[in-house]
Amino acid sequence: MTRKNILKAQRIVVKIGTSSLILPNGKINLSNIDELAFVLSDINNKGYEVILVTSGAIGAGLNVLGMNERPKDIAQQQALASIGQVELMSLYTQMFRRYSQKVSQLLLTRDVTDFPLSSNNAENALNALLSLGIIPIINENDAIAVDEMDHQTKFGDNDKLGAIVSKLVDADLLIMLSDIDGLYNKNPNIYDDAKIFKEIHDITDELRQMAGGAGSRFGTGGMTSKLAAAEILFENQQEMVLTNGKRIREIKDIIAGQEIGTYFYQKIEKEEDA
């Protein structure tokens, strides 16, 4: 069955997690970055407005310094993210240039949600970039915003940032690329009999029970933060598809309405059904 709403989508936010950008050996997944640049440039040429929210700065920083373990020290993590962000953007710029696609960078902090002026500034900048045919590449400004990195008040991650950006620009669809095919009724990396959800229409406590934490040694958000992202989208009747970042070319099939991954959308009761 075709996902009819998605066929109407024009403004797409794509969020890619660390596990799709950093290989298990800690090296950068160059082929995934190249494929992402190709697919996003291609759909941009076809008239879609595209925004990329990328994780991977800390992972890339570890790679640059030849470190294996993510340090516990917050300042060290901030330094790693600052080093890795440069590496990541250098690769993105090179790869997108191969497809004649211009990109830009925005590093956001929580103030785009907490302060209306900052939110307005970010929204204006993003709309101006999209109108110029640019693909904005966004990450959290990890060197400044440290809430998400192992603090007691840890609540941030790029899953939620993807949802916040989608809300900011009134995106038609958020495509969340992870290292798993979708949301399951339990962690499929632990339970062989886990079953995938094709559609989710409401984020319930029961569903939250099924979602666990990060799966890769570089990830931060886990499924819990993906459900939190969906809740932010549901506030504005926005939609999300969660799928595997190992099959980046499937983005084209997703926007063509094919049933890939887990589709998060609210079923709006029609008057006659109410």
Ligand X SMILES: Nc1ncnc2c1ncn2[C@@H]1O[C@H](COP(=O)(O)OP(=O)(O)O)[C@@H](O)[C@H]1O
Ligand Y SMILES: N[C@@H](CCC(=O)OP(=O)(O)O)C(=O)O
How many residues does this entry show for the chain? 274
Burial label for 116, CB within 10 Å (0-12, 13-18, 19+), is exposed
User: Min. distance of Cβ 153 from ligand Y in angstroms?
Assistant: 15
The one of ligand X, ligand Y, none whose footprint includes residue 142, by CB under 5 to 8 A per kind, is ligand Y
User: Residue 141, annotated ligand binder?
Assistant: no
Using CB under 6 A, list all residues that contact ligand Y: 17-19, 55-58, 81, 139-140, 142, 157-159, 219-221
User: Min. distance of Cβ 164 from ligand Y in angstroms?
Assistant: 12
User: Residue 220, annotated ligand binder?
Assistant: yes
Residues 181-240 that bind ligand X (CB under 6 A): 183-184, 186-189, 210-212, 214-216, 219-223
The one of ligand Y, ligand X, none whose footprint includes residue 56, by CB under 5 to 8 A per kind, is ligand Y
Cα–Cα separations (whole angstroms), residue 8 to 37, 238, 258 = 23, 13, 13
- x/- mask, ligand X, residues 84-123, rule CB under 6 A, reads ----------------------------------------
Q: Does residue 264 touch ligand X according to CB under 6 A?
A: no
Which range binds ligand X by CB under 6 A, 23-31, 113-121, 134-142, 179-187?
A: 179-187
Q: How far apart are CA 175 and CA 122, in angstroms?
A: 20
C-beta closer to ligand X: residue 6 or 183: 183
Cα–Cα separations (whole angstroms), residue 78 to 47, 109, 147, 241 = 37, 13, 11, 30
Q: How far apart are CA 212 and CA 190, in angstroms?
A: 11
The one of ligand Y, ligand X, none whose footprint includes residue 162, by CB under 5 to 8 A per kind, is none
C-beta closer to ligand Y: residue 19 or 243: 19
Q: Does residue 59 touch ligand X according to CB under 6 A?
A: no
Q: Does residue 19 touch ligand X according to CB under 6 A?
A: yes
Q: Which residues contact 23 (CB under 8 A, 6 or more apart)?
A: 29
- Contacts within 8 Å (CB) and 24+ apart, 148-153: 148/220, 149/58, 149/74, 149/77, 149/78, 149/81, 149/220, 150/72, 150/74, 150/77, 151/74
Burial label for 101, CB within 10 Å (0-12, 13-18, 19+), is buried
First to last CA, the chain: 24
Q: How far apart are CA 149 and CA 145, in angstroms?
A: 9
φ, ψ for residue 151 (rounded to 5)? Answer: -80, 160
The one of ligand X, ligand Y, none whose footprint includes residue 215, by CB under 5 to 8 A per kind, is ligand X
C-beta closer to ligand X: residue 180 or 232: 180
Q: Does residue 179 touch ligand X according to CB under 6 A?
A: yes
User: Min. distance of Cβ 267 from ligand Y in angstroms?
Assistant: 28
Number of amino acids touching ligand X (CB under 6 A): 23
Q: How far apart are CA 97 and CA 86, in angstroms?
A: 16
The one of ligand Y, ligand X, none whose footprint includes residue 101, by CB under 5 to 8 A per kind, is none
Binding positions for ATP are 15, 178-179, 220-226
Binding residues for substrate: 55, 142, 158
